[in-house]
Amino acid sequence: MSRFAMALCALLPCALVQAAQPGYQPMANPVGPSAWWWDNAWWEQGHIRVPTNHPVRLEEIEYANGDVSVPAILARPDDDRRYPAVLYQHGRRGLDDLIVGQVKRLAARGFVVLAPDVFSGRFIEKMPIEHNYAVETDTAAGVDALLARDDISTTQACIVSQTRGGYMALKAVTTHGKQRNGIACYVSFYPHMQDPNAPEPMQVYRYAPEVDRLDIPVLIFIGDQEQYQRRRSIETAVQSLQDAGKDATLVIYPRVGRGFDFRPPHVRTLRGRPGLPRHPDAHPYLHHPAPDPVRPMTRSSDAGGPATRAS
């Protein structure tokens, strides 16, 4: 070591020690035939699994949580059959038309989906800054309302969410006792994995302690261009669950931000037009069917990864 470097060590020991330590490294999708998302039928034969499609009917309902009446949307295939139960918890933007579209897409795959509007039930304006902890109990009560229906085929539900809804769902599952007591799996798109009322350092460097209490399968989707501080807390939360031997998967979509793609249609459809070349290093996952949700995410320096939508 040079004398100059030794002098710096004497003057700035903390800074140099800090720089020498491995820091936060973003997670990335694995690549190649050994990756969890790989499908030889797609690669060798060009076969893509065809999704189930059902006509969907919507119903506006209400359910009680103590003295609060919680409005909700109920979406299901438009027939008389029973289907698995899903509870969809909206985020900061509330239960608006964009979120109802997500609910319908789930129902069209063959689910009975209950989407509580926990803001309207408590006269909370959409896009709130502060978090009202009472809404978590409305989410938990929605699980009971959903499972009481006679048109579902399962004894438990999967809870699906996005943005701040991810935190509401987390609290409903852990703090309010729905884990394996009505909720069998946790799925979320770019969830807020920290108490929204926690101070700024906690938002940036920590995830909510309730995450470590999860012992049901977890599947989270983000994009590698996630533009908020949220990516770090999501990745460290998933890594902690995996390190504890729990069933946690993180799917990272390449070259997109929150919403997975919120560019105008004339921009985002360019790659799909016939005759236009595919980006030379586009990730194969872009052209692949939905992943098997049970295999864990791994770190890879070679892979790309992406993000999700706003609120």
In a domain, residue 58? The reply is yes
In degrees, rounded to 5, the angle at the alpha carbon of residue 216 between the alpha carbons of residues 183 and 239 is 140
**196 compared with 230, residue with greater pLDDT:** 196
In a domain, residue 275? The reply is yes
Quick one: pLDDT at residue 302? 34
In a domain, residue 20? The reply is no
pLDDT-derived band of residue 261, with 50, 70 and 90 as boundaries? Answer: low
pLDDT-derived band of residue 110, with 50, 70 and 90 as boundaries? Answer: very high
Predicted confidence (pLDDT) per residue in 16-51, tens digit = 333 334 567 777 777 788 887 788 998 899 999 888
Distance (Å, whole) CA 18 – CA 58: 55
Average pLDDT for 205-212 = 96
Quick one: pLDDT at residue 9? 41
Quick one: pLDDT at residue 290? 41
15 pLDDT above the threshold of 80: no
**303 compared with 217, residue with greater pLDDT:** 217
Strand-pairing partners, residue 253, are: 223
Average pLDDT for 46-70 = 95
In a domain, residue 71? The reply is yes
In a domain, residue 128? The reply is yes
In a domain, residue 54? The reply is yes
- Write the DSSP string, 106-174: HHHTT-EEEEE-TTGGGTPPSS-SS--THHHHHHHHHHHHHHT-SSEEEEEEEEEEETHHHHHHHHHHT
In a domain, residue 160? The reply is yes
In a domain, residue 13? The reply is no
Quick one: pLDDT at residue 37? 79
279 pLDDT above the threshold of 80: no
Q: What is the CATH number of the domain that holds 123?
A: 3.40.50.1820
Q: What is the pTM of this model?
A: 0.77
Number of domains in the chain: 1
257 pLDDT above the threshold of 60: yes
The pairing of beta strand 183-189 with beta strand 152-162: parallel
- Give CA separation, 1 vs 6, 11, 22, 172, in Å: 7, 15, 21, 55
For residue 227, the enclosing domain spans: 35-287
Cα–chain center distance at 80:
30
